[in-house]
Amino acid sequence: MNDKSRMRDIALMRKLRIRRKVLEMSQRELAEISGYGRERISHWEQGHRLPNISQFEDLAKALGLRIALVEDDES
């Protein structure tokens, strides 16, 4: 993964974190809805690790978004 790609992915995770907070959803609630652990959600949001595209899609769906909508702001 190149630096530009990593920065884009981190920006997408920030958008998902903001959406989670707007929905007043905890990481634990997102974990339960998405099927991923709370620690994994935390690592993703902090940029320590990044989800693959399938995981991004799962998170976006759990937050009521489509991945295309999340990516649109990048262009």
> What are the residue boundaries of the structural domains of the chain, listed by start?
3-72
**Domain 3-72 in CATH: superfamily?**
lambda repressor-like DNA-binding domains (1.10.260.40)
Tokens of 71: 């990516």
State which H helix or E strand residue 24 sits in: none
Percent of the chain surpassing pLDDT 90: 52
Residue 66 has pLDDT above 60, yes or no: yes
Instruction: Identify the sign of the CA torsion 46, 63, 25, 31.
Output: negative
pLDDT band at 69 (very low <50, low <70, confident <90, very high): very low
For the chain, the residue count is 75
Distances 21 to 15, 24, 25, 57 between C-alpha atoms, Å: 10, 5, 6, 18
What pLDDT does 33 receive?
A: 96
pTM of the full predicted structure?
Answer: 0.79
